[in-house]
Protein backbone atom coordinates (compact mmCIF):
# COMPACT_ATOMS: atom_id res chain seq x y z
CA UNK A 1 0.00 0.00 0.00
CA UNK A 2 1.32 3.43 -0.96
CA UNK A 3 1.57 6.10 1.69
CA UNK A 4 0.24 9.55 0.85
CA UNK A 5 2.16 11.60 -1.69
CA UNK A 6 3.01 15.28 -1.32
CA UNK A 7 3.93 17.25 -4.46
CA UNK A 8 5.48 20.63 -5.22
CA UNK A 9 5.96 22.24 -8.64
CA UNK A 10 8.41 25.05 -9.41
CA UNK A 11 9.68 27.04 -12.36
CA UNK A 12 13.46 27.07 -12.68
CA UNK A 13 14.67 30.00 -14.71
CA UNK A 14 13.20 30.58 -18.13
CA UNK A 15 13.69 27.10 -19.58
CA UNK A 16 12.93 24.48 -16.94
CA UNK A 17 10.25 23.40 -14.51
CA UNK A 18 10.58 20.81 -11.76
CA UNK A 19 8.29 18.55 -9.83
CA UNK A 20 9.22 17.32 -6.36
CA UNK A 21 7.17 14.62 -4.70
CA UNK A 22 7.77 12.47 -1.67
CA UNK A 23 6.43 9.63 0.43
CA UNK A 24 6.90 9.55 4.20
CA UNK A 25 8.11 6.04 5.07
CA UNK A 26 9.59 4.55 8.28
CA UNK A 27 13.17 4.90 6.93
CA UNK A 28 12.70 8.56 5.95
CA UNK A 29 11.28 10.68 3.16
CA UNK A 30 11.52 9.03 -0.27
CA UNK A 31 12.03 12.06 -2.50
CA UNK A 32 11.90 12.32 -6.30
CA UNK A 33 12.71 15.48 -8.28
CA UNK A 34 12.18 15.53 -12.04
CA UNK A 35 12.81 18.43 -14.39
CA UNK A 36 11.39 19.29 -17.76
CA UNK A 37 12.33 21.79 -20.39
CA UNK A 38 9.46 24.25 -20.50
CA UNK A 39 6.19 23.72 -18.70
CA UNK A 40 4.35 21.23 -20.92
CA UNK A 41 7.10 19.12 -22.54
CA UNK A 42 6.52 15.39 -22.16
CA UNK A 43 10.00 13.99 -21.55
CA UNK A 44 11.77 14.44 -18.24
CA UNK A 45 15.21 16.01 -18.64
CA UNK A 46 16.63 14.90 -15.28
CA UNK A 47 15.41 12.65 -12.49
CA UNK A 48 16.88 12.59 -8.98
CA UNK A 49 15.84 10.15 -6.23
CA UNK A 50 16.97 9.95 -2.60
CA UNK A 51 15.87 8.86 0.85
CA UNK A 52 16.38 11.52 3.53
CA UNK A 53 16.39 10.68 7.23
CA UNK A 54 15.28 13.40 9.67
CA UNK A 55 17.72 16.32 9.51
CA UNK A 56 19.39 15.23 6.25
CA UNK A 57 19.60 17.44 3.15
CA UNK A 58 20.40 16.96 -0.51
CA UNK A 59 20.97 19.57 -3.18
CA UNK A 60 20.30 19.37 -6.89
CA UNK A 61 21.76 21.88 -9.32
CA UNK A 62 20.81 22.43 -12.93
CA UNK A 63 23.12 24.08 -15.46
CA UNK A 64 22.33 27.43 -17.00
CA UNK A 65 23.99 29.41 -19.76
CA UNK A 66 27.78 29.68 -19.86
CA UNK A 67 29.02 32.07 -17.20
CA UNK A 68 25.81 31.85 -15.14
CA UNK A 69 25.51 30.14 -11.79
CA UNK A 70 23.45 26.92 -11.84
CA UNK A 71 19.91 26.78 -10.47
CA UNK A 72 20.12 25.04 -7.08
CA UNK A 73 17.34 23.34 -5.12
CA UNK A 74 17.99 22.14 -1.55
CA UNK A 75 15.74 19.40 -0.13
CA UNK A 76 15.71 18.92 3.67
CA UNK A 77 13.83 16.42 5.82
CA UNK A 78 12.47 18.77 8.51
CA UNK A 79 11.09 15.89 10.59
CA UNK A 80 7.43 16.01 9.67
CA UNK A 81 7.71 17.50 6.16
CA UNK A 82 10.12 18.20 3.31
CA UNK A 83 11.53 21.73 3.24
CA UNK A 84 12.31 22.86 -0.32
CA UNK A 85 14.64 25.83 -0.77
CA UNK A 86 14.25 26.79 -4.40
CA UNK A 87 16.07 29.52 -6.30
CA UNK A 88 14.32 32.89 -6.47
CA UNK A 89 12.33 33.42 -9.68
CA UNK A 90 13.85 35.80 -12.24
CA UNK A 91 10.53 37.67 -12.18
CA UNK A 92 7.16 37.08 -10.46
CA UNK A 93 4.97 34.71 -12.52
CA UNK A 94 1.73 36.04 -13.95
CA UNK A 95 -1.56 34.50 -12.82
CA UNK A 96 -1.86 32.75 -16.21
CA UNK A 97 1.65 31.30 -15.92
CA UNK A 98 0.93 30.17 -12.37
CA UNK A 99 -2.29 28.42 -13.48
CA UNK A 100 -0.51 26.77 -16.41
CA UNK A 101 2.24 25.60 -14.05
CA UNK A 102 -0.29 24.19 -11.60
CA UNK A 103 -2.04 22.26 -14.40
CA UNK A 104 1.31 20.96 -15.65
CA UNK A 105 2.21 19.90 -12.10
CA UNK A 106 -0.91 17.76 -11.86
CA UNK A 107 -0.24 16.12 -15.24
CA UNK A 108 3.43 15.57 -14.40
CA UNK A 109 2.64 14.18 -10.93
CA UNK A 110 0.13 11.67 -12.28
CA UNK A 111 2.63 10.51 -14.89
CA UNK A 112 5.57 10.27 -12.45
CA UNK A 113 3.65 8.60 -9.63
CA UNK A 114 2.39 6.03 -12.11
CA UNK A 115 6.05 5.07 -12.73
CA UNK A 116 6.85 4.76 -9.01
Judge residue 14's burial from the number of C-beta atoms within 10 Å of its C-beta, 0-12 exposed, 13-18 middle, 19 or more buried. Answer: exposed
pTM of structure? 0.69
Beta bridge partners of 26: none
User: pLDDT (tens digit, 9 = 90+) per residue, 30-86?
Assistant: 999 988 876 565 566 788 999 999 999 999 887 777 887 888 899 999 988 999 998
Contacts from 80-83 at CB under 8 Å and sequence distance 24+? 81/6, 82/6, 82/8, 82/20, 82/22, 82/29, 82/31, 82/52
Amino acid sequence: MLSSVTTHWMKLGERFSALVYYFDEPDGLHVVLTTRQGVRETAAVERFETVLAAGQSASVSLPRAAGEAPERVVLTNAGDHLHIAEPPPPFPPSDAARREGEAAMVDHAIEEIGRW
